[in-house]
């Protein structure tokens, strides 16, 4: 049964379908992303604010202690 259906589609048609599918795929993955620096996660912002609030003296802190 599948051999009768295979005759309806030529190899050239299959190649065209494949080319179109790849064109759509490439357009999706190469779409321009948002320009600029990625946003900082909210929990990191809260941590920075908390550490800045606790450090009134202004001395350098080692942030690896907090992670």
Domain borders along the chain are 2-66
- What average pLDDT does this structure show over 62-67? 58
Asked whether the predicted pLDDT for residue 67 surpasses 60, the reply is: no
Full 3-state SS string of the chain: CHHHHHHCCCHHHHHHHHHHHHHHHHHHHCCCCCCCCCCCCHHHHHHHHHHHHHCCCCCCCCHHHHC
Q: Is the pTM of this model over 0.75?
A: no
Query: 63: which residues sit within 8 A by CB, 6+ positions away?
Result: 51
Residue located via tokens 């003296």 = 57
Is the backbone of residue 38 left (phi > 0), alpha (psi -120 to 50) or beta?
beta
């Amino acid at each position: 049964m599948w051999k009768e259906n295979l005759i309806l589609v030529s190899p050239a048609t299959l190649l065209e379908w494949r080319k179109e599918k790849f064109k759509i795929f490439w357009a999706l993955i190469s779409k321009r992303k948002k320009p600029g620096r990625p946003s900082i996660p909210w929990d990191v912002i809260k941590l920075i604010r908390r550490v800045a609030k606790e450090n009134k003296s202004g001395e350098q802190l080692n942030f690896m202690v907090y992670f």
